[in-house]
Amino acid sequence: MEIPLVGGHFEGRSPNIAPETCVNWFYEKNAGGESLVPTPGASLFSQLSGEIRGCIDYDGKPWFVAADTLYSLDASGTSTAKGTLNTSNGRVSMAHNGTRAGANQQIMIVDGSSGYIYDNVADTLSEITDPDFVTGTSLTFIDGYFVWSQKDSDRFWISSLYDGTAIDPADFSTAEGAPDRIQGVIADRRELYLFGEKTLEVWYNAGDPDNTFQRFQGGFSQCGAVGDTPAKFDNSIAWLKKNDRGQGEVVILADSYQPKIISTPEVNYQMSTYTIDDAFSYAYQSEGHEFYVITFPTNDVTWVYDASTQVWHQRAHAEGTRERYNCHTFSMGKHLFGDFENGKIYQLDNSLGTFDGSRIPRERTTALVTEEEKRARISSVQLDMEEGIGDPNANDTGMWLSYSKDGGHTYSNEVERSAGEGGQYSLRVIWRRLGFARNWIFKIRTWSPNRPILKGLYARLYGE
In this prediction, residue 439 has a pLDDT band, given cuts at 50, 70 and 90, of: confident
List the domain range (segments joined by +) for residue 442: 2-39+363-461
Average pLDDT over residues 293-309: 98
**Of 316, 333, 359, which marks where a domain is finished?**
359
C-alpha separations of 254 from 116, 205, 251, 260, 262 in Å: 35, 21, 9, 6, 11
How many domains, the chain? Answer: 2
> Are 240 and 381 found together in one domain?
no
pLDDT score of 372 = 63
Name the band, by pLDDT with cuts 50, 70 and 90, for residue 283: very high
- Indicate whether 104 pLDDT > 70: yes
Pair 200, 78 in one domain? yes
Higher per-residue confidence, 106 vs 451: 106
Cβ neighbours of residue 199 closer than 8 Å, sequence gap 6 or more: 175, 177, 178, 180, 220, 221, 222, 223, 224, 243
- Report the CATH number at residue 203: 2.130.10.10
Same domain, 240 and 373: no
Q: Three-class SS string for the chain?
A: CEECCCCCCEECCCCCCCEEEEECEEEEEECCEEEEEECCEEEEEEECCCCEEEEEEECCEEEEEECCEEEEECCCCCEEEEEECCCCCCCCEEEECCCCCCCCCEEEEECCCCEEEEECCCCEEEECCCCCCCCEEEEEEECCEEEEEECCCCEEEECECCECCCCCCCCEEECCCCCCCEEEEEEECCEEEEEECCCEEEEEECCCCCCCEEEEEEEEECCEECCECCEEECCEEEEEEEECCEEEEEEEECHHHCEEECCCHHHHHHHHCCCCCCCEEEEEEECCEEEEEEEEHHHCEEEEEECCCCEEEEECCCCCCCCCEEEEEEECCEEEEEECCCCEEEEEECCCCEECCEECCEEEECCCEECCCCCEEEEEEEEEECCCCECCCCCCCEEEEEEECECCCCCCCCEEEECCECCCCCCCEEEEEEEEECEEEEEEEECCCCCCCEEEEEEEECCC
Residues 188 and 201 in one domain: yes
pLDDT for 177 equals 82
**Same structural domain, 402 and 428:** yes
**Co-location of 351 and 430 in the same domain:** no
Q: Higher pLDDT residue, 323 or 418?
A: 323
What is the per-residue pLDDT for 464?
A: 62
In our burial notation (b when 16+ CB lie closer than 10 A, e otherwise), range 3-20 reads bebbbbbbbbeebeebbb
Point out the domain boundary residue: 359, 393, 410.
359
User: What does the mean pLDDT of the chain come to?
Assistant: 94
Predicted local confidence at residue 263, as pLDDT = 97
Neighbouring C-alpha atoms within 13 Å toward the C-beta of 5: 28
Mean pLDDT along residues 36-53: 97
Question: Percent of the chain scored above 90 by pLDDT?
Answer: 81
pLDDT-derived band at 373 (thresholds 50, 70, 90) equals: low
What CATH number corresponds to the domain at position 27?
Answer: 2.60.120
Q: Which of 183-187, 217-221, 396-400 has the highest mean pLDDT?
A: 183-187
Residues 370 and 434 in one domain: yes
Are 260 and 371 within one domain? no
Domain boundary (359, 389, 413) is at 359
pLDDT in tens, 23-33: 999 999 988 89
Kindly report, residue by residue over 197-253, the tens digit of the pLDDT: 999 999 999 999 889 999 998 889 999 999 999 999 999 999 999 988 999 999 999
Residues 142 and 32 in one domain: no
35 and 112 both lie in a single domain: no
Tell me: do 156 and 87 sit in the same domain: yes
Confidence at residue 265, expressed as pLDDT on a 0 to 100 scale: 95
Task: Give the pLDDT mean for 178-202.
Answer: 94
> 392: pLDDT confidence band, cut at 50, 70 and 90?
low
Tell me the average pLDDT across 144-169: 95
Query: Does the structure show a pLDDT above 90 at 106?
Result: yes
- Rounded mean pLDDT of 342-352? 96
Same domain, 273 and 348: yes
User: Residue 314 pLDDT > 80, yes or no?
Assistant: yes
